[in-house]
Amino acid sequence: MVEAITSPKQDYNLKPFFWTPLRDAKTVRYRQEVFQDLENEPVMECIKAFAEGMSMVRRYLAMMEKLDFDYHRKGWFLEAVLVYCDAVATLARHLDGLPLSSRGLSAFREYLVHYVQSPVYRSLATEGQQVKSALAEIKYCVIIESGKFKVKRYEIEVDYSLEVETAFKKFKQSDAEDYLVRLPERAGMSHIEAKILEFVARLYPEPLAALDRFCTEYNRFLDETIRTFDREIQFYVVYLDFIADLKRQGLPFCYPQVSATSKAVYVRGGFDLALAHAWRYDEKAIVLNDFSLKDPERILVVTGPNQGGKTTFARLFGQLHYLASLGCPVPGREAGLFLADHVFTHFERIEDIRNLRGKLEDDLVRMRDALIHATADSIFILNEIFSSTTVQDALFLSKEIMARLMDSDILGVWVTFLDELASLSEKTVSMVALVDPDDPVRRTFKITRKPADGLAYALSLARKQRLTYGQIKERLS
Amino acid sequence: MMRVFLLYPDQDFDPSVPLPPMDDLTQDLFLNILFQAMAQGDRFLFQVTRQVVLSPLDEITPVIYRQDILKDCLKHPDVVRQIYQIPLEFLDRKRKRWLWVSPRHSTPTSILNSARELLEASLDLLRQLRLIADQNVNAFESQGFRRFFTMIQRELDDEYLALVERHVQQLRFPQGVLLSAQPGRGNEGSGYVLCCPNDADRNWLQRLFTSRSPTYSYTLHPRDDAGARVLEELRNRGLARAANAVAQAAEHIESFFTVLQRELAFYIGCLNLYEQLMALGEPVAFPQPVPVNQRRFSCTGLYDFTLALTLGTPVVGNDISANGKSLVIVTGPNRGGKTVFLRSVGLAQLMMQCGMFVPAESFLANLATGLFTHFKREEDKTMESGKFEEELKRTVS
């Protein structure tokens, strides 16, 4: 998902932001405020316009490095400065009239207002403009002969095409065909054009000398804070862009209550963001699920038929907590979430030939490592652990681990086929993946809080086909 | 503006207007004999005369306008044929020298060169046209020709012809292609515009100021192919707009010649017919048209010239006076000339309405908004309908 979120803006190197969850509720709220400001369309628009300007600046500066001719390089440097000044001034002007409630954006706006009034910025902008307009006033002539050319000042020579047009207009009986060849815009500079530019510099020394001075003086013109802002704000932009489509489809997002202390967590109308993203072009409806854990409840034990949405539910639990800890709006109608120090997950993996361990052993090793590092503030998400052993062994091992988790007061989800785990203690809450009561084969993908009734999916299928033990016996008798 | 206006006092003849279905009329009045007599084997003349004859006028003024021009033509047939040769010569040169403007996908340089050659080929023809105008403006009497000649004298005056010649010379760029440009983004040259080198005859004050500015020149290494390509590209960039202008200019000149050829073709056709009738010793007269709302019809010596041309001898003419009547009934013995008479009436009416002379000693009739005929036909060969049904069908349509 991080890949999908950050891939549209790769040059900002945004992944580290998404790999660094926060534990501090204050910081999370600080980010949530910024997100909320950016959900205001005009704010988002002016940030995006600014980002486009800045990315053009970076492109010009990067391109400049590769150019061969001095005045060509300096010309592009000047363009970069002009675009930068314009982007900054436009952003300052636009943000000025917009209501901002986040501390983050308000503070930046204040900084920006000061910056555009500072002598540093103002001289950069005005001198840049002056140099540019002096250059724009240069007009020269190139006289092309075969194998050679001459360069001289422009001396009010008249546009020849116009003359021809006027001269022959009188013969016009009807509109003539269009013979204008549209040559593609030429970019870059060859040694010929560089030579022409060199002659131009000799013909008009003053404007180009001014360009020289400008480039030396404003060599490092990018403001560090603005540069940082430009990158950091993209963290918010990419995430909002990522969820924009889903929001349009009517899927709910909300800003969760977060706490680093209270483990009473709940979600109403939550869904799996990765699944919703994968299905964004499909007609399939995303099922929304709820859960809530009140003290002393800590662990959701999910049972139910295969393919009933248990894994998705487990992922949703971890995902919501993780996204909340980044400060992002989470996929759900309403949520209160815990800021964990670490989310430990155990999902079934492809067996790895290299570790030379059996599946059970592998499960045990991974659990041991996780338990060594876990603290009371960790979250565990276990999906079908010990499925490769007998029911008795699995039950024994699971109970052992459950005891450890409960001892440490750890928050988590446990997807299992062992109904017994659901009612181990007051800390566990049983959730069941529902099937349609009228048609047990149809799953509803709804996970509801209710006692594990042991009605496994296979049995429900069997009943539908009238092949349960009772039914078969009845038929045979 | 160079407008020909020899068929209408205020507009060009539009050859693209589709003709109403006139197959019956053409067949009944033997119009193809008329067109062939006018065209004398020339396909273009046939096409134009057919188009003009089948688009009759229904107002007096344009009919008289054409009659006057035609009278001038009959008086000065050689001059008119001489003028007609000019557009023919232009098209002939174009075909023989393979002159045509290169299409859009070629380079501006080649578009410009091809168009310049076309301009060059037209230069002496324009001079010739001007000379004819100078010599004949006073000899011609019609409003149409006087306007045409005066327009030629005014638009193609000496100064203008010299200007065209100068352009044709200048477009070879004897002193190199002069482009003005400005530093654009990144100091890359932009806004290339082809300019006219300042004339040497600019006043001394200007020269005094401009002569101080230096010129730097650079010669490419003979093996610098990349450099030569860039230079060629710059040249093309500068020439693109000018090439468009020159190509359009060439096209304008060609379109002028085309219109001139088309409008004169009709009168050339009339001349051809006139000369054939004169050779037979048959009379022609300029008819006197009367407005559509009156009922007038009187003539003397009206004859069917298709018959005369086919037989190669003069034929009998008829005198009629039917003013104020709206219907004339012709009766008489078979093979007595009833059909021939009918045809001569139809032909004269149609020729009057397109501004031509008519085969008669005198002719006066009102103009009509439509001309319909119903002559005897062979039975429908497809045998789909009987004779009577076929006749009814034709009447309805």
Provide DSSP, A174-218: SPPPP----PPPP-S--HHHHHHHHHHHHHSHHHHHHHHHHHHHT
Task: Please give the pLDDT value at position B202.
Answer: 54
Higher pLDDT among residues B388 and A340, named by residue: A340
The residue with tokens 């005009």 is: A42
Give Cα separations from A87 to A12, A82, A132, B41, B262 (angstroms): 18, 9, 17, 75, 62
Q: What is the mean pLDDT of chain B?
A: 89
Domain ranges of chain A: 2-137+219-232, 249-476
Tens of pLDDT, residue by residue over A7-36, are: 888 888 899 999 999 989 999 999 999 999
Q: Which amino acid appears at position B30 of this protein?
A: F
Residues in chain A closer than 8 A to B240 (CB atoms): 180-183
pLDDT above 70: residue B389: no
pLDDT above 80: residue B384: no
Closest alpha carbon within chain A to B230: A192
Tokens of A213: 């001075």
In whole angstroms, what is the distance from residue B118 CA to residue B90 CA? 9
Instruction: Mark whether B274 and B376 lie in a shared domain.
Output: no
Tens of pLDDT, residue by residue over A398-428, are: 888 888 888 888 999 988 888 888 778 888 8
Where is average pLDDT lowest: A429-433, A452-456, B294-298? A452-456
Task: Please give the pLDDT value at position B211.
Answer: 56
Q: Which domain holds residue B58?
A: 23-173+250-280
Residues in chain B closer than 8 A to A190 (CB atoms): 226-227, 230
Q: What is the mean pLDDT of residues B74-93?
A: 95
Contact A440, A309 (CB under 8 A): no
Task: Please give the pLDDT value at position B391.
Answer: 65
CATH for B309 = 3.40.50.300
Closest alpha carbon within chain A to B210: A155
Task: Please give the pLDDT value at position A320.
Answer: 93
Residue A446 phi/psi, 5-degree rounding, is: -95, 130
Tokens of B149: 């000649």
Q: Report if residue B244 sits inside a domain.
A: no
Tens of pLDDT, residue by residue over A451-460, are: 776 655 566 6
Please list, in sequence order, all residues whose beta carbon lies within 8 angstroms of the beta carbon of residue B14, skipping any fewer than 6 positions away: none
Instruction: Mark whether B269 and B353 lie in a shared domain.
Output: no
Shortest alpha-carbon distance between residue A59 and chain B (Å): 13
Closest alpha carbon within chain A to B259: A173
Tokens of A264: 């009473």
Task: Please give the pLDDT value at position B52.
Answer: 94
In whole angstroms, what is the distance from residue A332 CA to residue A325 CA? 15
Which DSSP symbol is given to A466?
T
**Which positions 381-440 of A are in contact with B (Cβ < 8 Å)?**
none
A185 touches chain B (CB under 8 A): no
Instruction: Mark whether B263 and B356 lie in a shared domain.
Output: no
Residues in chain A closer than 8 A to B235 (CB atoms): 144
Quick one: which of A345, A349, A348, A394 has its CA closest to A374?
A: A345
Cα angle for residues B101, B102, B108 (degrees, 5° grid): 110
In whole angstroms, what is the distance from residue A207 CA to residue A130 CA? 9
In whole angstroms, what is the distance from residue A95 CA to residue A113 CA? 9
Q: Which amino acid appears at position A130 of this protein?
A: Q
Contact B136, B79 (CB under 8 A): yes
Whole-number percent of chain B with pLDDT over 90 = 57
pLDDT band at B131 (very low <50, low <70, confident <90, very high): very high
Optimal mutation site among B167, B178, B187, interface A, most CBs of chain A within 10 A: B187
Residues in chain A closer than 8 A to B258 (CB atoms): 173
In whole angstroms, what is the distance from residue B351 CA to residue B340 CA? 16
In whole angstroms, what is the distance from residue A453 CA to residue A428 CA? 15
Count of structural domains within chain B: 2
Instruction: Mark whether B130 and B261 lie in a shared domain.
Output: yes
Instruction: Mark whether B57 and B167 lie in a shared domain.
Output: yes
A128 touches chain B (CB under 8 A): no
Task: Please give the pLDDT value at position B394.
Answer: 67
Tens of pLDDT, residue by residue over B323-378, are: 999 899 999 888 888 889 999 999 999 999 999 999 999 999 999 998 888 887 76
Task: Please give the pLDDT value at position B376.
Answer: 76
A192 touches chain B (CB under 8 A): yes
The residue with tokens 């084969």 is: A441
Q: What is the mean pLDDT of chain A?
A: 87
Give the E-state strand segments of A304-410 in sequence order: 330-331, 334-338, 342-346, 378-383
In whole angstroms, what is the distance from residue A88 CA to residue A93 CA? 9
**pTM of this prediction?**
0.74
Contact A346, A268 (CB under 8 A): no
Instruction: Mark whether B74 and B159 lie in a shared domain.
Output: yes
Task: Please give the pLDDT value at position A110.
Answer: 94
Tell me the β-bridge partners of B320: B299
Instruction: Mark whether B162 and B302 lie in a shared domain.
Output: no
pLDDT band at A353 (very low <50, low <70, confident <90, very high): low
Quick one: which of B388, B311, B372 has its CA closest to B26?
A: B372
Tens of pLDDT, residue by residue over B223-253, are: 889 899 999 989 998 898 888 888 888 888 9
Tokens of B163: 């200007």
Instruction: Mark whether B44 and B164 lie in a shared domain.
Output: yes
Which DSSP symbol is given to A458?
H
pLDDT band at A352 (very low <50, low <70, confident <90, very high): low
Tell me the β-bridge partners of A379: A343, A411
Q: Report if residue B207 sits inside a domain.
A: no
Shortest alpha-carbon distance between residue A212 and chain B (Å): 13
Cα angle for residues B307, B308, B313 (degrees, 5° grid): 135
Task: Please give the pLDDT value at position B87.
Answer: 95
The CATH architecture that domain A249-476 belongs to is 3-Layer(aba) Sandwich (3.40)
Q: What is the dihedral of CA B249, B253, B254, B256, to 10 degrees?
A: 130
The 3-state secondary structure of B162-224 reads HHHHHHHHHCCCCCCEEEEEEECHHHCEEEEEEECCCCCCCCHHHHHHHCCCCEEEEECCCCC
Contact B270, B38 (CB under 8 A): yes
Q: Which is it for the CA torsion B318, B320, B326, B330, positive or negative?
A: negative
Instruction: Mark whether B110 and B166 lie in a shared domain.
Output: yes
Task: Please give the pLDDT value at position A350.
Answer: 64
Quick one: which of B259, B285, B303 has its CA closest to B71?
A: B285
The residue with tokens 């008009």 is: A204
Answer yes or no: do B252 and A189 touch at CB < 8 A.
Answer: no
Task: Please give the pLDDT value at position A127.
Answer: 95
pLDDT above 70: residue B108: yes
pLDDT above 70: residue B289: yes
Tokens of B181: 């440009």
Angle at which helix B77-96 crosses helix B108-136, to 10 degrees, equals: 170
DSSP output for B25-42: HHHHTTHHHHHHHHHTT-
Instruction: Mark whether B275 and B292 lie in a shared domain.
Output: no
Instruction: Mark whether B35 and B148 lie in a shared domain.
Output: yes
